[in-house]
Amino acid sequence: MKLERNLLQIRHSDAGLRVTCNHYLNAFRSDYRRIVVFLTGDPVTDGVSPIDADELIYLKLSRSQLKGLRLEARRRVSDIIARYRISLVLAHRWKPTYLAAAAQLANGPVAIISVVHALHQLESWSRRLQGRFILSKRCRFIGVSEAVRNDILNSGFGLDADKVLALSNCIDIEKSQNSLYSRAQARQILLLDEDEFICGHVGRLADSKDQKTMLRAFAKVRTHYDKIRLVIIGDGRLRDDLQRETDCLGLAESVIFAGARDDAIQLMPAFDLFLMTSVNEGFGRVLLEAMVCNLPIVSTDSGGIREVLGEDFPYCEMSNVDQIAAAVEHIIKLPESGRIVCGKENFQRVVDNFSFPIFQERLRAFADSYCASIYK
């Protein structure tokens, strides 16, 4: 069967993860026509980088159309695969994967790679059944860390190990560095004084990030230092709860909730250290951004984080307030030269392990081998 070099990337919506979307697309830039389908929502145009695709399609499906048998969604995805003569599908998360696999019933063999971005996504009985009897016969899988890969292999789908790839997210180092604000600019935007020590965090305000522990650890540190603040960039359903916790801890003047911002990485030079307290983390891409900014990092040992920061990193136990506070104080007490050394070590690890060329080489080898087995 002749290989048609037409790639379809299916995503739930255009909200967030554009950088990752482009990394997957750019790995096929030289030899594939690339189409991106968004199942729900409208195009996002405010202050975001463009999607590097040849065509964008917004299906604008309703919530009800993505429940149950999803017949309308299946039909429309199937029509797109047939119309564009798609040979390779990159389906991010569960619903896009299910729809792509269902489309095979009408279109015949198509190479489908399902990208799993987080831990514990395949545990429900319905997903286990669909995975074992439908997806395992029609898809290969990528986990964004070795921890996620192991999660997929242990899901009960009955997958052979060679059908699941651990592929860490990457970062465009040069582009990221060129986009950064200066320290002075970033602090001016965030209304921070130059002489304050800033602990920074970027992430969804969600249970998996355990920002309550972060606030409690910061409260301990705050009792010993006057000119220190915590800046949290991000939003989510726990915002009100976290703000109440901040007030209860007497931190109203010391913690800034900056909200969700598209320029979050550009603002990181305002930080003196990056703080991560996750209890359930598939990979932790934001850590790559902190490392590109040459920041010292205090982090828990959760999920795929160890793959990002390495075996020798001095991790904190999850939810251990005292240990996290002590790690922050250790960084504060270091001379500036010591913090610079920590930041440079983190930066070098990004260069050695998480650059785009490494990502592209591993993704293409996996995808090309898969396509070769189908289109003989």
In tens, the pLDDT along 40-57 reads 988 887 656 789 999 999
DSSP type of residue 132: I
Give the C-alpha separation, 94 to 135, whole Å: 10
Instruction: Say whether both 112 and 187 belong to one domain.
Output: no
CATH number, domain at 319?
Answer: 3.40.50.2000
Instruction: Say whether both 324 and 368 belong to one domain.
Output: no
139-143 and 164-166: which strand pairing? Answer: parallel
The verdict on residue 103 lying in a domain is yes
Instruction: Say whether both 99 and 123 belong to one domain.
Output: yes
Give the C-alpha separation, 350 to 347, whole Å: 5
- pLDDT by residue (tens digit) across 225-284? 989 999 999 999 999 999 999 999 999 999 999 999 888 999 999 999 999 999 999 888
Give the C-alpha separation, 292 to 350, whole Å: 7
Which has the minimum average pLDDT: 13-27, 223-237, 332-346?
A: 13-27
3-state DSSP assignment of residue 273: strand
The verdict on residue 188 lying in a domain is yes
Residue numbers of the domain that contains 235: 173-353
Instruction: Say whether both 108 and 224 belong to one domain.
Output: no
The domain total for the chain is: 2
The verdict on residue 1 lying in a domain is no
Which has the minimum average pLDDT: 62-71, 84-93, 248-257?
A: 62-71
pTM summary value: 0.85
